[in-house]
Amino acid sequence: MKSKISFFNPCIYKKNVKLFWPIWLGYWIILMVLMPVRMWLSFKQIQDSILFYGQEYAEDYISTIYNAVNMDYHIIIITVFALACVACVFGYLFNARNANMMHAFPVNRFELFCTNVISGLSFLWVPQLICFFTTLVVCVSFGETRIVYLGIWLVMSMAISFFLFSVAVLSAMCTGHTLAIPVIFATFNLGYIAIRQAVTGVIEFFAFGVNNLSDLRAGKINWLSPLYYIFYNVQFSLVTDKAGEHIIGIDYIGMQVIASFFAIGILVYIIAYILYARRRIECAGDMIAFDIVKPVFRWGIGVVGSFFITLVSYGMISSNGIKISDIFFIVSAVIFGIIIFFITDMFIQKNFRVFTRRRVRESIIYIGCFLIVTISLKMTGDIIEKALPDNKDVECAYISSTFPVRIDGDKINDVIALQNQIIKNEKYLRKVKSNYTRDIHIVYNMKNGKKIKRSYSVPLTDKSIKLVYEQIYKYESNAENMKKYLLCYDIDKCMVNATGGTITVSCSKTEKTGHITLTEKQIAAVLQ
């Protein structure tokens, strides 16, 4: 008779420990090498250096602790072992025979689920606790009392393990194949970043002069990609004195982040159990365990994957000086999209016979929706490309070809007019090929704290476009601007003591370049 009360089965837990001990042992050995063993060797070396050279090496103790608790590689290691633990403790779900056998035992699914979750977490938490106490002993034995950072590391590691293991468990519940767990895990943890990169990359292709939308760190809702967000927001850092010469301590960020994700992890475990309770045993071996998710997976991989492949292909082509039209980009994206759609379906169905009447009808609808998405992104790019700021909303502007010059007040209208002239010639600039081009960069610092950045490659072969560059050149060739932005912002307080230098010169007729070496007197004349 199946138990209706207990949520933990000691026999299953002992079986997991007995079968999968290499997992927690391997993780424990890695932690021991990275922390107590490494710290002991480093502390011993520092002790010898202090004995021979003096106390100036004492700050290396702090660096040693920082290197041990640095979360960059710990997060990666936790991710790998969380996936390994899930693949082991829930491995019976991916084999039909084992799944039927386990669910035939007098153990209900809730008890199975909880016992396996506790098993997986103990494989991560126990090595972390042992490593913490061992490292603590090493620090105390060398007289190092700044052990609070070890406690912070332990809290961070256990909380991150709790959350990432929950996502790994959820990933396992969504599939019936072991190899699909990392794919679904990556989708949950990095899906938003991938979609954002694909979408902004396509918009940047269509929007002439716009190339800063795909800045990953600028996203306000990057927490939708938890692993990426944790990696950049749960960190230790070294603190130096005002002169930046000596290390005086360690700082850390991310306690609120891991507290939030720990709470979210509880919800993820609940969702994972609900899926486990509704999961069919017959799905063992399937890439996707629930039929309702299969079209979402096909469509999502098809759209995002096609955008990435098209953008990479465009990057390879454009590096050779070849420019492609918007229509060519859209057609290429559709072709790649339909190919990825059917390849993904082959993996889902575990069959090469995917060109059925039903799937072909679905692919036609998919192509229609794909075209709508792509054209919408093109229209968005056109709007962003042609958008010009209002002078009253701009605090200051910077315009540059070789170095940035700050523009204030009413002169900002001149910068807006120059940008407008470039935008009007957008079609010509996209197609023209010239060996003589200049990159023009325009940055608006808005009063609301935002920045608008645009970069244009302007050929110097057309008279009307050349006129734009010449107007920018007037700003850069101004003596006061050159003195201010090339030598020193506050020239009266700047000490310039140059004794030699060169000037690069070029000839537009012969396309030859050369260098002129300057004497100390000539440099003085140039500076004057």
Contacts of 505-511 with C-beta under 8 Å, sequence gap 24+, read 508/436, 511/435
Q: What is the DSSP string of 461-474?
A: SSHHHHHHHHHHHH
* pLDDT at res. 275: 92
pLDDT of residue 140 exceeding 70, the answer is yes
- Who has greater pLDDT, 25 or 476? 25
> Looking at 244-253, 321-330, 402-411, 461-470, which range is the least confident one?
461-470
* pLDDT at res. 168: 95
Q: How confident is the model over 154-167, as a mean pLDDT?
A: 95
Q: How confident is the model over 204-211, as a mean pLDDT?
A: 85
Angle at 494 between CA 492 and CA 499, to 5 degrees: 120
Band (3; pLDDT cuts 50, 70, 90): very low
> Which pLDDT tens digit goes with each residue over 83-101?
999 999 998 888 888 888 8
> CA 524, CA 521: separation in Å to the nearest integer?
5
Q: What is the DSSP string of 111-178?
A: HHHHHHHHHHHHHHHHHHHHHHHHHHHHHHHTT----HHHHHHHHHHHHHHHHHHHHHHHHHHT-S-T
In the chain, the percentage of residues whose pLDDT exceeds 90 is 29
> CA 61, CA 59: separation in Å to the nearest integer?
5
Q: How confident is the model over 202-219, as a mean pLDDT?
A: 78
pLDDT of residue 261 exceeding 90, the answer is yes
Is residue 205 packed enough to be buried (19+ CB in 10 Å), middle (13-18) or exposed (0-12)? buried
Q: How confident is the model over 374-391, as a mean pLDDT?
A: 88
> Which pLDDT tens digit goes with each residue over 310-327?
988 888 877 666 777 888
At position 35, the amino acid (one-letter code) is M
In the chain, the percentage of residues whose pLDDT exceeds 70 is 86
At position 307, the amino acid (one-letter code) is F
- Who has greater pLDDT, 184 or 59? 184
Contact of 84 with 119, CB cutoff 8 Å: no
* pLDDT at res. 1: 41
Of 80, 75, 62, 74, nearest to 34 by C-alpha is 74
Contacts of 373 (CB under 8 A, 6+ apart): 303
pLDDT of residue 392 exceeding 90, the answer is no
> CA 41, CA 469: separation in Å to the nearest integer?
60
pLDDT of residue 169 exceeding 80, the answer is yes
pLDDT of residue 412 exceeding 70, the answer is yes
Q: Name the packing angle between helices 226-233 and 180-206 (round to 10°).
A: 80
* pLDDT at res. 350: 79
Contacts of 392 (CB under 8 A, 6+ apart): none
Output the six-digit token pair for 275: 């899926």
Q: What are phi and psi of 461, to 5 degrees?
A: -95, -25
pTM, two decimals, is 0.81
pLDDT of residue 447 exceeding 60, the answer is yes
Find the helix or strand (DSSP H, E) in which 438 lies.
Answer: strand 437-446
pLDDT of residue 200 exceeding 70, the answer is yes
Of 215, 175, 162, nearest to 193 by C-alpha is 215
Mean pLDDT of the chain: 83
* pLDDT at res. 53: 60
* pLDDT at res. 107: 81
Cα R_g (the chain), whole angstroms: 30
Output the six-digit token pair for 294: 């299969």
* pLDDT at res. 154: 95
Strand locations in 159-316, DSSP E? 235-240, 247-253
- Who has greater pLDDT, 510 or 269? 269
> CA 486, CA 496: separation in Å to the nearest integer?
11
Band (292; pLDDT cuts 50, 70, 90): confident
Q: How confident is the model over 194-218, as a mean pLDDT?
A: 82
Q: How confident is the model over 451-472, as a mean pLDDT?
A: 72
pLDDT of residue 5 exceeding 60, the answer is no
Of 377, 219, 384, 208, nearest to 306 by C-alpha is 377
pLDDT of residue 233 exceeding 50, the answer is yes
Of 9, 203, 29, nearest to 117 by C-alpha is 9
Please state whether 25 falls in left (phi above 0), alpha (psi between -120 and 50) or beta: alpha
For the ranges 135-139, 241-245, 453-457, 473-477, the maximum mean pLDDT occurs at: 135-139
* pLDDT at res. 508: 63
For the ranges 99-103, 134-138, 426-430, the maximum mean pLDDT occurs at: 134-138
pLDDT of residue 54 exceeding 50, the answer is yes
Output the six-digit token pair for 141: 């034995």
What is the number of residues in the chain?
528
* pLDDT at res. 84: 94
